[in-house]
Amino acid sequence: MAHWGWYWKVKLKHQRKRVCSYFQCIDSFAMFKNKELMELFKNKVAFEIPDYGLKITLREDHYHVEYEDGSYDIPIEKQPCYFGGFRYFFHCPKCDRRMRILYFDKGLFLCRKCLNLCYFTQILRPPDRCLAMARNIEEKLKSMAGSLDRKPPWMKKKTFEALKKKYSEYRDVKYRKAKDKELIEFYPGLADEEGYLI
């Protein structure tokens, strides 16, 4: 089976996705966490972005957005939880998908699919993704226990051992080399003397 790089070389119309983390966003979980603030900002301007002349006003069941080129509404869905309380979600103004986060681009708040965005980890090569995942495990264990070798309090031994095993797999040179192997077969000029990607 040919490598995916060949597919994108042939597909000339491919547009590389932009990364979510470079965009301003609104998060429904964070915004509706504080009930007192919700009541305080009802029918008032919740926040604004002066560069686009954009003002967002919180109404009863939607956000009303006014900007230089016009106005639109962002519907808000209130979903009951099993053990009481509610979760709040936005509906994308373009495709009407239920989304937790909407991203801002040129005066519009739209979902990740409509703006053709991706997460940072999606554009990493397999070995880089492995290192990123290993780093996440390392940070988690160090923040909870102060060390990779010490089990955090209240964590089950089985969970701790599984995390350590995953960490060693992600950091393993052979594992990274195996992930690089497919790329090196397709692009032989990219490998150094030891067989790693340059």
Query: Which pLDDT tens digit goes with each residue over 113-165?
Result: 988 898 888 888 777 788 888 888 888 888 888 888 888 888 898 999 999 98
So what's the pLDDT on residue 158?
93
Q: Torsions phi, psi of 60, nearest 5? A: -60, -50
Judgement on whether residues 24 and 109 belong to the same structural domain of the protein: yes
Please state whether the predicted TM-score (pTM) of the whole model is above 0.85.
Answer: no
Judgement on whether residues 106 and 45 belong to the same structural domain of the protein: yes
Judgement on whether residues 129 and 114 belong to the same structural domain of the protein: no
Give the 3-state DSSP-derived string for the chain, with helices as H, strands as E and coil as C.
Answer: CCCHHHHHHHCCCCCCCEEHHHCCEEEHHHHCCCHHHHHHHECCEEEEEHHHCEEEEECCCEEEEEECCEEEEEEEEEEECCCCCEEEEEECCCCCCEECEEEEECCEEECCCCCCEECHHHHCCHHHHHHHHHHHHHHHHHHHHCCCCCCCCCCCHHHHHHHHHHHHHHHCHHHHHHHHHHHHHHCHHHECCCCCEC
Residue 10 belongs to a domain: no
Domain finish residue from 118, 153, 181: 118
Local confidence band at 14 (pLDDT 50, 70, 90 cut-offs): low
Calculate mean pLDDT across residues 41-56: 78
So what's the pLDDT on residue 147?
81
Residue 133 belongs to a domain: yes
185: domain range? 124-190
190 has a pLDDT exceeding 60: no
Domain finish residue from 85, 102, 118: 118
134: how many CB neighbours lie within 10 A of its CB?
19
Calculate mean pLDDT across residues 30-56: 77
Judgement on whether residues 37 and 99 belong to the same structural domain of the protein: yes
So what's the pLDDT on residue 162?
92
Domain count for the chain, please give it: 2
Judgement on whether residues 27 and 114 belong to the same structural domain of the protein: yes
Domain finish residue from 118, 138, 165: 118
Judgement on whether residues 148 and 183 belong to the same structural domain of the protein: yes
Residue 8 belongs to a domain: no
Mean pLDDT for the chain overall: 79
Judgement on whether residues 104 and 145 belong to the same structural domain of the protein: no
Percent of the chain clearing pLDDT 90 (strictly above): 5
Judgement on whether residues 89 and 132 belong to the same structural domain of the protein: no
Judgement on whether residues 63 and 86 belong to the same structural domain of the protein: yes
Judgement on whether residues 94 and 51 belong to the same structural domain of the protein: yes
Residue 30 belongs to a domain: yes
Judgement on whether residues 108 and 144 belong to the same structural domain of the protein: no
Distance CA(153)–CA(38), nearest Å, equals: 37
141: how many CB neighbours lie within 10 A of its CB?
21
16 has a pLDDT exceeding 80: no
Judgement on whether residues 21 and 113 belong to the same structural domain of the protein: yes
Residue 129 belongs to a domain: yes
So what's the pLDDT on residue 148?
82
